[in-house]
Structures are given as C-alpha cells and as structure tokens.
Amino acid sequence: MSSIARIKQHKRSIINQHAKADKRKAFAQVVTTFVPLSALWWVAVQSAAVSYWLTAGVIVVMSLFLVRVFVLMHDCGHGSLFRTAALNKSFGFAFEVVELVHRQHCSLPYSPLVRQNPELLSVDQR
C-alpha cells in the first residue's frame, strides 16, 4: 500500500470516529453553551449599572458563545448534532430563538446547494 493510500485510510479512520452523533456529547455541548451564555447575559445586565465598558467587554465574550449557538443550530439543521430528527428539530428551534433567526424559509431540502449536492443531507432528511 502506498503512503498516500495509508494517509487516506488513516484520515478516514479519524473522521469515522467523529462522524456519528452522540447524545451525551450533544447534551454536554448544549449545557456548556447555554449555562455560560445565561450567566454572561445576567452579568451584562448587572454590569450596565457599574460601567458601560465592562458591559461591552462582557458582550464581546457573549458574542463568542452566540457564534457557538449558531454552529450548534447549523449542526441541528444538518441533522448531525443528535441521532434523532425530533431532537435536532427541537434543539434547532431553541437555538433559533436564542439567535433570533428563522431559518424555515431557507431550510436544507429546498436550498439550491443541497439540490445540487444531496449528499449534504443526513440520512434522516433524504
């Protein structure tokens, strides 16, 4: 076997380790995102009485967690965060509420990109 084939095989084995949805890891991702985000929200509200600069700093950190919420919402949209479609839809909706995003009009099955590349959909969505 050539070295390129070995590298490709090793790459595939690494990808396969992370390609399956794991409910415990997914819930851990949700908790480790929402708990700090909620705490930061509270700190931002409280810090407004102290200093606007402090509030601005807290909001910058909050924005990083909001990016994480968007990434989790994106994973739910692809049906890859949880194993079941129901959990992906439920948590995807919760993430949409936090992000103030309504993605119904651009959901995956109707996206031009997905119509041209149906392999982007998870098995549950095909």
Question: One digit per residue, pLDDT tens: the chain, 126 residues?
Answer: 788 889 989 888 887 777 778 889 999 999 999 999 999 999 999 999 999 999 999 999 999 999 999 999 988 888 889 999 899 999 999 999 888 876 654 455 556 666 666 666 554 444
State the residue for tokens 């095909």. 126
Alpha carbons 120 and 114: distance in angstroms, whole number:
6
CA nearest neighbour of 64 among 94, 100, 103, 36? 36
Q: Provide the pLDDT for residue 122.
A: 54
Residue 79, pLDDT score = 85
Question: Cβ distance 108 to 125 under 8 Å?
Answer: yes
Please report, in angstroms and rounded to a whole number, the separation of the first and last CA atoms in the chain.
36
Burial-class residue 76 by CB neighbours within 10 Å (0-12, 13-18, 19+): buried
Residue with tokens 């919420």: 69
pLDDT value for 2? 84
pLDDT of residue 16: 79
pLDDT, position 123: 47
Beta strands in 10-102 (DSSP E): none
pTM: 0.71
What are the Cα distances from residue 107, in Å, to 57, 76, 78? 34, 11, 9
The confidence score (pLDDT) of residue 46 equals 96
Assign 121 to helix, strand or coil: coil
